[in-house]
Structure 1
Amino acid sequence: MSKENNVNGVLLGMAVGGAIGFISALLLAPKSGTQLREDLSTKFQSITGKTKDVAATVGKNLKELAGTLKEEATDVVDQAKRPN
């Protein structure tokens, strides 16, 4: 569970860091306003898609984790109900 959280955190950090770096490079590069807006729009769409993918993966992992926790909780309750 901890490794999944770390991996998701690293991926999110990489995405955010990459986006910040890319936007900084675009803003500091000598381009016309039209070219800059097109580049920003394209990158924003790319980041949006990647963010949706990460969110879907995190959601899937959370559903699996919830299912596993439910099964384990059910097992613990069943064991507690058994007479010694």
Structure 2
Amino acid sequence: MLQITSPYAKLDERMSKEDLLDVQGTVSAVHSGGLYRVQSDAGHEVLAQLSGRMRRFRIRVVPGDRVTVGVSPYDPARGIITFRAR
């Protein structure tokens, strides 16, 4: 029996949280739509959004906060804020 597979089957695989690179940085600006501009300690600028758990527990992030951003190795210009330091 011949089995036909889609060429896009590999694209449906999602990255897990463990695949993200953790970057430390400081929030430099807050944009509309829940986006934050984060200046990393290495000097890179990342456009990030809050993780679902941070939205669920209503954790506020303001400019000047120290945060941890999960950055994809495929697109290092965007990320997810996973932790806000106290």
User: Does the alignment reach a TM-score above 0.5?
Assistant: no
Q: Looking at CA atoms only, which structure, 1 or 2, has the larger radius of gyration? A: 1
Higher relative contact order (CA 8 A, sep 6+): 1
Taking structure 2 as the reference length, what is the TM-score of the superposition? Answer: 0.19
Question: Comparing both structures, which one devotes a greater share of its residues to helix?
Answer: 1
